[in-house]
Chain A
Amino acid sequence: MKKTVTEETVTNERSKAEGNTHKGGKGTLIAALAAVVVVVLLIILAVMFKPEPQTGDKSITVTLTDNNGVDTVYEHNTDAEYLLEAVREMEGLELQGEDGEYGFYITTVNGITADYSIDQSYWAIYVNGEYGSYGIESQPIEDGGEYALVYERSAY
């Protein structure tokens, strides 16, 4: 009996503490509005800055930097719109990988495998000298573009 009274007291106190918030209220409205505003802003930004692939013939350079830091430069003319497609067309550049959570993940280039789980190594993509923000599958290419596949190890 005593236990039941305690439970009721706790429940009543909790209900009082919750007040109107149980049904929603000002806080809910603010959070919901903030979420909607952020979604709209994100969609606008994503659409505004979406990289558009170029159509037609393009001349590109792909530099391979292997696990010893040795650079090999490949030049190629292509109608491909994305880097993965272009690299697969290139002679002397053999690429292997797997479809992961975020698209195609490069594991091996010209027989050199980067395995993050063993030594924190990975194949990084650079676009015109800057660290690429997209995977090789979704990286658009442009005429005169300079791309690099670099064997790297995480410094962290």
Chain B
Amino acid sequence: MDNHGDGIRLSHKKWNTRDLAELGMMIAALEAGKLALSSLPNVEIVTFLIIMFAAIYGLKSVIAVVVFVGVECLLWPVNLWSIMYLYIWPLLAALAYLCRRQSSVWFWSAFSALYGFCFGGLCAIVYIFTSGIHTAVAWWIAGIPFDLIHGFSNCVIMMVLYRPIRKVFSYYQSHK
């Protein structure tokens, strides 16, 4: 493992126990976070966690996200949402990884809000292939109020949790 600033990059070295433990921690946090807020419509903490993991752990977080999607497919019947999850969450991890140098709470709040606003549009891509462009657009537009709630709730969660969680991770990183 190579540590470059805040991000940890995968290298040719084999994974050690710590890497596996961190991977397990990320997957467990994603699953627990999703279940914990599943009763609240369009309010979720998965976006926040994926962004934090991508910014802190780099590419390792993408593997955690892929396993998380796999666990979701095992827990719930496979449906259209499963297909959406296959690209929605890894895409978020990849975008957050590309922006990992950013450390402003305002940047990440705007970023997570933007992703929430675009969530319905990104999910609608699947409907283009299953039901056609007309249905996909109609489905996306019908869900805009939910996308707005999603974006604003993402923003609030990031603004509240970014600093304390970042501080915890920074402490954890500096005490390796």
Q: Which residues of A contact B (CB under 8 A)?
A: 6-7, 10-11, 13-14, 17-18, 21-25, 27-28, 31-32, 34-35, 38-39, 42-43, 45-46, 49, 101-102, 116-117, 120, 130-131, 133-134, 154, 156
Whether the Cβ atoms of A27 and B99 lie closer than 8 Å is: yes
Q: How far is the CB of B44 from chain A (nearest CB, A)?
A: 12
Considering the chains assembled together, what is the distance between the CA atoms of A154 and B82 in angstroms? 12
Contacts of B82 in A (CB 8 A): 156
Whether the Cβ atoms of B102 and A39 lie closer than 8 Å is: no
- 26 CB < 8 A contacts A-B: A14-B5, A14-B6, A21-B101, A21-B107, A24-B104, A25-B104, A27-B99, A28-B102, A31-B110, A31-B114, A32-B106, A35-B110, A35-B117, A35-B151, A35-B155, A38-B114, A39-B151, A43-B144, A46-B141, A102-B146, A116-B77, A117-B77, A131-B131, A133-B135, A134-B142, A154-B77
Considering the chains assembled together, what is the distance between the CA atoms of A49 and B174 in angstroms? 52
Within 8 A of A (CB), among B114-167: 114, 117-118, 131, 134-135, 138-139, 141-148, 151, 155
Contacts of A22 in B (CB 8 A): 103-104
Main SS of chain B's interface residues?
A: helix
Q: How many A-B residue pairs have CB under 8 A?
A: 100
Q: How far is the CB of B129 from chain A (nearest CB, A)?
A: 12
Contacts of A6 in B (CB 8 A): 174
Chain B, interface size: which category? 35 or more
Q: How far is the CB of B125 from chain A (nearest CB, A)?
A: 15
Contacts of A7 in B (CB 8 A): 174-175
Considering the chains assembled together, what is the distance between the CA atoms of A13 and B174 in angstroms? 11
Whether the Cβ atoms of B107 and A24 lie closer than 8 Å is: yes
Partner of B83, one of A116, A120, A156: A156
Considering the chains assembled together, what is the distance between the CA atoms of A32 and B151 in angstroms? 12
Contacts of B142 in A (CB 8 A): 133-134
Known interface pairs A14-B5, A14-B6, A116-B77; A35-B135 also in contact (CB < 8 Å):
no
Indicate whether B111 reaches chain A with its CB closer than 8 angstroms: yes
Contacts of B79 in A (CB 8 A): 120, 154, 156
Whether the Cβ atoms of A43 and B148 lie closer than 8 Å is: yes
Considering the chains assembled together, what is the distance between the CA atoms of A117 and B110 in angstroms? 36
Partner of A42, one of B42, B107, B144: B144
Whether the Cβ atoms of B118 and A38 lie closer than 8 Å is: yes
Considering the chains assembled together, what is the distance between the CA atoms of A101 and B104 in angstroms? 33
Considering the chains assembled together, what is the distance between the CA atoms of A25 and B107 in angstroms? 8
Whether the Cβ atoms of A10 and B174 lie closer than 8 Å is: yes
Indicate whether B168 reaches chain A with its CB closer than 8 angstroms: no
Q: How far is the CB of B143 from chain A (nearest CB, A)?
A: 8
Within 8 A of A (CB), among B89-114: 99, 101-104, 106-107, 110-111, 113-114
